[in-house]
Chains A and B, each alone.
Chain A
Amino acid sequence: RKEVEQDPGPFNVPEGATVAFNCTYSNSASQSFFWYRQDCRKEPKLLMSVYSSGNEDGRFTAQLNRASQYISLLIRDSKLSDSATYLCAGYGNNRLAFGKGNQVVVIP
């Protein structure tokens, strides 16, 4: 089983709509979790860290559920510029493991 699993999609989202996706992890010892945004053939850019209490940054909301071992990302009022691949990542055992990414395509 992969350390971090995501449904790659693509997720076709009408502009202005809300999209949400989850990422499951298998390593219960993972200490920290993150969502990254990656554009094609570019380096990942940190979107936000993920906390059990949930955190929000503008139109983006992230949540960690340790009991069920998943993290989630919700994007409200989708913009065309949100089209990208969203990678979840978990840090544990001195390494950062990434999921395959959720490809989001925002449609006008």
Chain B
Amino acid sequence: GAVVSQHPSWVICKSGTSVKIECRSLDFQATTMFWYRQFPKQSLMLMATSNEGSKATYEQGVEKDKFLINHASLTLSTLTVTSAHPEDSSFYICSAPSHRGVLTNEKLFFGSGTQLSVL
């Protein structure tokens, strides 16, 4: 079945550094990628939607200059947390529909998530 590979699984970094998270669709073309963030005991909060070849759409309250999203190819989307601070420590996860158009069924595949800890 369709698989989304997300790396790294864990990141520990110093405050002020930038961290890049990659999500790759392994056997399908992901024209859209959803990026979520989840704090402990909280829901998955949609941060942004990336679309191949165009600018990402950010949710209200998400700083686009801090969370840089690049979706340069049909199989790769990246999220870069720039100048990370302790409050950015969270679980970040990507997901992609395996087909074009409106998601009307369960054809949404998740990466395995990245736990970011900023010291």
Question: Contacts A95-B34, A100-B43 known; A31 to B104 CB distance under 8 Å?
Answer: yes
What is the CA–CA distance of A96 and B102 in the complex, to the nearest angstrom? 11
- Any A CB within 8 A of the CB of B19: no
Question: Contacts A100-B41, A100-B42, A100-B43 known; A46 to B34 CB distance under 8 Å?
Answer: no
Name B103's closest neighbour in chain A (CB-CB).
A91
- For A98, give its contact among B44, B91, B102 (CB under 8 Å): B44
- Any B CB within 8 A of the CB of A8: yes
- Any A CB within 8 A of the CB of B54: no
**What total count of A-B pairs have CB within 8 Å?**
53
Verify B113–A43 contact, CB threshold 8 A: yes
- Any A CB within 8 A of the CB of B87: no
Query: What's the minimum C-beta distance from B7 to chain A, rounded to whole angstroms?
Result: 13
What is the CA–CA distance of A2 and B102 in the complex, to the nearest angstrom? 22
What residues of A have a CB within 8 angstroms of the CB of B102 in the complex? Answer: 31, 94
What is the CA–CA distance of A49 and B103 in the complex, to the nearest angstrom? 12
Verify A96–B108 contact, CB threshold 8 A: yes
- Any B CB within 8 A of the CB of A97: yes
Query: What's the minimum C-beta distance from B9 to chain A, rounded to whole angstroms?
Result: 9
What is the CA–CA distance of A4 and B46 in the complex, to the nearest angstrom? 12
- Any A CB within 8 A of the CB of B65: no
- For A46, give its contact among B43, B93, B106 (CB under 8 Å): B106
- Any A CB within 8 A of the CB of B110: yes
Q: Which of B22-52 contact A (CB under 8 A)?
A: 34, 36, 41-46, 49
Verify B49–A43 contact, CB threshold 8 A: no
Verify B43–A99 contact, CB threshold 8 A: yes
Verify B49–A94 contact, CB threshold 8 A: yes
What residues of A have a CB within 8 angstroms of the CB of B95 in the complex? Answer: 96
Verify B41–A8 contact, CB threshold 8 A: yes
What residues of A have a CB within 8 angstroms of the CB of B93 in the complex? Answer: 43
- Any B CB within 8 A of the CB of A104: no
- Any A CB within 8 A of the CB of B105: yes
14 new A-B contacts at CB < 8 Å, known A6-B43, A31-B102, A91-B103 = A4-B43, A8-B41, A32-B105, A43-B93, A44-B110, A45-B110, A46-B106, A87-B43, A94-B49, A94-B102, A94-B103, A95-B46, A96-B103, A100-B41
